[in-house]
Each structure stands twice: as C-alpha cells, then as structure tokens.
C-alpha cells in the first residue's frame, strides 16, 4: 500500500516543471558542436532560463532544449517533479528564516556566481494531521533555494550538519516570522565541538576520495590513449601495461595485472551504464577509443575548483574550534588561496597536500577547544515545542496568514 497525493495520473509530462538535477530524455535531434545529439539521449537538467533548459547530456556536454523537447526519464521522476513543485507552491510562504549562503556568504563570489538561499519553514498545523507524509524539504525549480522543515532543520543542527549550521549562524540570517526570531535567539545552543567531525574530518575524507578518483581518471586517460593508438591491444596486454604505468600495488606481478584487469572491466561497465558504450565489453571500449569521443576531459567532480569548498570547511572548523567563534567569511591570504583553487589555478594534488597540512592544525584545535562537547538539546527541544504550539494556535484561532486562515489546502490521500 502507498499513500499518495491524488491527481498525478492526469499530469502532462511535457508540462511538469523539471527541477535541477532531474534525469531527462530528449525528444528531438539537436546539432551541437558539429555533431548530432539524437532523439532519446539521456541527461540531467543543469539550468533553467525561462522556457529554455540546459541539459548535461552524457558524453556530449551541456546542450540547450525547449521545455517541450524533454520528458522525465522515469515515471518516478515525473511524480517527484510534480510533488516537489506542488510543495514549493503550497508552502514557500511558510518560511520563517532565510539566509544567503554559498560563495556570496563566504566572500568567494566572482562575476557570474549564483545566489543560493537556504532557510527553514514550518508546516501549517493541519498538514501534520493526515495520512500523507508532509514534505520536509522545499526546493525551487532552479535549485537555488532550499528550505528545511523546522523539525528536520533542528535535528540536522544537533548533528552539526555544516549546511544547517551555516544557515542558522551566518550574520545574514533573517527571520521572516516571530518563530524565526525565536530560532535565532538560541543560536548558541546549536554549537558544539562535533564540528570537528562534520566539518573537518568530513572534508578530509572527501579529499581522500578525490585523490582516489583522480588516480582512476588518470588510469582511464592512459588506457584510452593506448587503445586509440593501438586497437589490437588485448585485454590482458592492456592490463599488464596499466599495472606497470599506473604502479598498481599487489603481492605479485600476476596480482597487479589481475587488479588492473578488474579495473578495466569496471571501466567499460561504468561507461556502458552512462550510455557511452553500446555494449558492456572490452571491444566496445576499444571502439570508443577509436571514435571522436575518445578525447578525455577530467570529470567535473574531480576538477580542482570542486575541492576549494572542502579546504574552506577545514579552515572554518579549525578557526571555530580554536577561537570559539563561527567565522564563515574567508579573508586575507586564505581567501586568495581558495579563489586560486576555485579558478583551477592549483593542481588537485597540491590542494590535497595543503589539506594534509591543515589537518594537523585541526587536531591541535580540537584538543584545545573550549566549545561545549554537545549542543544544548534541552533548549532546542523547547524551541521546537514552542514553534509547534504556535503553529497550532494560529490555525485554531483562524488568524490571517499562511499558518491560519490563509494556510494552503491539505493534500488528499488515496490508495495507490
């Protein structure tokens, strides 16, 4: 049994909003940079400008389409898009707190930087009384605004989630309702030395993953270059060569070659899953290397600019633990260093080395910190109770506004 909002069967898949990140299928051929991207190509929504949608098509790049030239790839995504847009329209007015976050809050914005907002909203009392699970997240169609339901936001803050703490503690946090003012009044209750793990250790773990990803990307680049030059290279020969060139570790030479062979198999399986290969086998990989597509660009997630935020988290945690004061804006030499990384002027390997240097400072700061070990859960619990009671009071009193007489209509449930 599933309880869902009624009416999804009647939604036109060519009209439903496509949130940022939605996986879509193209309905038309499109010429792009001298090649034709055929109908049925798969991609993800990257940006929305009026009726134009920019889609990152696998193996091609960012291509612009009209909205009616795209459909959600899966039925579940259609339902998700409908529910997300419906929740946004119904509850956006129930925000109690909003904050500009991201590079503009960190002092790292440049020309063309997006303006991202996060915030907190409260459900009208009536939305908490029915079978349909109410939304705990609100996201704008272009992905630039994200709001958490107050219960979720406070629980995330207790766990020292970096995004939530920034939203609540940034100087630019603005209350749009007295309930938001109550939240800002107890901001010190959210602070604890738990930031050591959620900011610092998290950043180090992600940088380690980037290091591993960079190594695998280099393996892929080498392999495609060899196959482009010599398509007669067998799987065993390619594995033996990769084991030597990439210095793959193993107890014996045979073990090293076996590990390299496993990697090649994982590579062509992954490329098949991405739609880059027509078959899940080595021959298809060789064919890809011989095609115009074989040119290899470093994956977006492995480019140095994507590491600057992790370095920022390390620096923020270290300073916060050391001084007891949250400082999210980057200044001085550190700001210049992070901007250089963001502009891809620093190799990822050097960024990782810099992170390792900061790790020692993070450990020293943790040992000497005066921050409380845990957040003040009692005060936070009282805040949540107070907010829930206030939302209930306004509903039952029929007060004007989004929590009372003007509250959005409660969705109906049906058996599905």
Are residues 158 and 98 part of one domain?
Answer: yes
Task: Determine, yes or no, domain membership for 55.
Answer: yes
Examine the pLDDT at 61 and tell me if it is beyond 80.
no
| Per-residue pLDDT, 3 | 42
The whole-number average pLDDT for the span 312-334 is 94
Cα maximum dimension of the chain: 79
What's the domain count of the chain?
2
CB contact set of 108 (below 8 Å; sequence gap of 6+): 308, 312, 330, 335, 338, 339, 342
Neighbours of 388 (CB within 10 A): 17
Give 7's pLDDT tier (boundaries 50, 70, 90): very low
31 domain-assigned: yes
Residue 236 predicted with pLDDT over 50: yes
Domain span at residue 55 reads 3-73
Would you give the distance in Å from CA 19 to the centre of its chain? Answer: 13
Q: Out of 152-161, 277-286, 407-416, which region has the weakest mean confidence (pLDDT)?
A: 407-416
Nearest to 351 by CA among 338, 367, 335: 338
Report whether pLDDT(8) > 60.
Answer: no
Residue 304 pLDDT: 59
Summary count for the chain: helices (H), strands (E): 14, 14
Tokens matching residue 117: 């907002």
Higher-pLDDT residue of 219 and 188 is 188
106 and 153 housed in the same domain: yes
Q: Is residue 290 part of a domain?
A: no
Query: Pick from 94, 98, 89: which is nearest to 17 by CA?
Result: 89
Q: Band of the pLDDT at 217, cuts 50, 70, 90?
A: confident
The pLDDT of residue 9 is above 60:
no
- Both 52 and 152 in one domain: the answer is no
- Check residue 241 and give its pLDDT: 92
- pLDDT tens, residue by residue, 366-414: 999 999 999 999 999 999 999 999 999 999 999 999 999 999 988 877 7
Residue 385 structure tokens: 């109770």
In the prediction, which pLDDT does 385 show? 98
Same domain, 69 and 88: no
CB contact at 8 A, 95 and 119:
yes
- 351, 207 Cβ separation under 8 angstroms: yes
- Work out the pLDDT band at 299, boundaries 50, 70, 90: low
Residue 78's pLDDT is: 65
Confidence (pLDDT) at 178: 98
pLDDT at residue 356, rounded to an integer: 84
Q: Which residues have a Cβ under 8 Å from the Cβ of 302 and sit 6 or more positions away?
A: 210, 213, 214, 217, 348
- Which of the listed residues 73, 92, 127 is the one where a domain comes to its end? 73
Residue among 88, 186, 202, 166 nearest 328 (CA)? 166
Which residue shows structure tokens 């901007």? 339
pLDDT tens digits, 237-250? 999 999 998 888 88
Rounded to 5°, angle at Cα 172 from 166 and 176: 100
Q: Is residue 236, in this structure, part of any structural domain at all?
A: no
Q: Name the average pLDDT for the chain.
A: 86
- CB of 119 closer than 8 Å to CB of 149: no
**Between 7 and 16, residue with greater pLDDT:** 16
Q: What is the pLDDT of residue 75?
A: 62
**Domain membership flag for residue 126:** yes
Q: What is the pLDDT of residue 301?
A: 52
Same domain, yes or no, for 56 and 155?
Answer: no
pTM: 0.74
* pLDDT-derived band at 147, boundaries 50, 70, 90: very high
Q: What is the mean pLDDT of residues 19-29?
A: 83
Adjacent-strand bridge partners of 137: 148
Q: Are 134 and 49 members of one domain?
A: no
Residue 40 and residue 102 in one domain: no
* Domain CATH for 29: 2.30.30.40
pLDDT value of residue 361: 92
Residue 175 is assigned to a structural domain of this protein: yes
Are residues 66 and 140 located together in one domain of the fold? no
Judge whether residue 280 has pLDDT over 80: yes
Looking at the structure, do residues 89 and 188 belong to the same domain, yes or no? yes
Report pLDDT for 4: 44
Domain assignment present for 287: no
The mean pLDDT of 171-183, rounded to a whole number, is 97
Last residue of a domain, one of 25, 47, 73: 73
Q: What is the mean pLDDT of residues 37-42?
A: 86
Q: Residue 268 above 70 pLDDT?
A: yes
Per-residue pLDDT, averaged over 348-362, amounts to 85
Average pLDDT over residues 338-365: 87
> pLDDT band for position 295 (50/70/90)?
low
Strand partners for 138: 147
Tens of pLDDT, residue by residue over 70-89, are 887 776 666 677 778 889 99
Q: Is residue 250 part of a domain?
A: no
């Amino acid at each position: 049994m599933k309880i869902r909002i009624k009416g999804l069967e009647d939604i036109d898949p060519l009209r439903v909003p496509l949130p940022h990140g939605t996986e879509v299928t193209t309905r038309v051929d499109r010429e792009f940079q001298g090649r034709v991207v055929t109908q049925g190509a798969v991609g993800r929504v990257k940006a929305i400008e009026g009726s134009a949608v920019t889609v990152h098509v696998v193996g091609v790049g960012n291509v612009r389409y009209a909205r009616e030239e795209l459909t959600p790839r899966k039925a579940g995504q259609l339902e998700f898009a409908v529910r997300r847009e419906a929740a946004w329209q119904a509850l956006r007015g129930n925000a109690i707190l909003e904050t500009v976050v991201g590079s503009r809050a960190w002092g790292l914005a440049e020309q063309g930087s997006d303006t991202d907002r996060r915030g907190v909203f409260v459900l009208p009392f009536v939305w908490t009384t029915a079978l349909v699970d109410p939304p705990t997240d609100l996201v704008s169609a272009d992905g630039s605004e994200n709001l958490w339901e107050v219960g979720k936001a406070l629980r995330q803050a207790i766990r020292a989630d970096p995004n939530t703490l920034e939203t609540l503690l940034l100087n630019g946090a603005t209350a749009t309702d007295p309930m938001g003012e109550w939240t800002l009044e107890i901001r010190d209750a959210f602070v604890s030395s738990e930031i050591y793990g959620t900011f610092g250790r998290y950043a180090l773990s992600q940088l380690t993953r980037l290091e591993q990803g960079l190594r695998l990307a280099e393996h892929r680049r080498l392999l495609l270059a060899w196959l482009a030059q010599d398509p007669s290279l067998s799987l065993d020969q390619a594995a033996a060569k990769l084991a030597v060139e990439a210095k793959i570790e193993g107890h014996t030479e045979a073990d090293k070659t076996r590990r390299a062979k496993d990697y090649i198999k994982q590579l062509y399986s992954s490329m098949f899953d991405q739609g880059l290969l027509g078959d899940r086998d080595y021959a298809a990989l060789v064919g890809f290397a011989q095609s115009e597509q074989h040119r290899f660009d470093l994956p977006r997630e492995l480019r140095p600019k994507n590491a600057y935020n992790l370095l920022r988290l390390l620096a923020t945690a270290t300073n916060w633990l050391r001084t007891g004061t949250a400082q999210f804006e980057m200044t001085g030499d550190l700001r210049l260093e992070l901007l250089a990384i963001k502009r891809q002027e620093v190799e990822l390997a050097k960024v990782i080395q810099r992170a390792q240097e900061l790790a020692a400072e993070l450990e020293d700061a943790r040992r000497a910190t005066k921050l409380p070990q845990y957040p003040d859960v009692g005060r936070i619990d009282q805040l949540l109770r107070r907010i829930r009671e206030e939302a209930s009071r306004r509903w039952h009193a029929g007060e004007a506004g989004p929590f009372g007489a003007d509250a959005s209509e409660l969705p109906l449930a049906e058996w599905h």
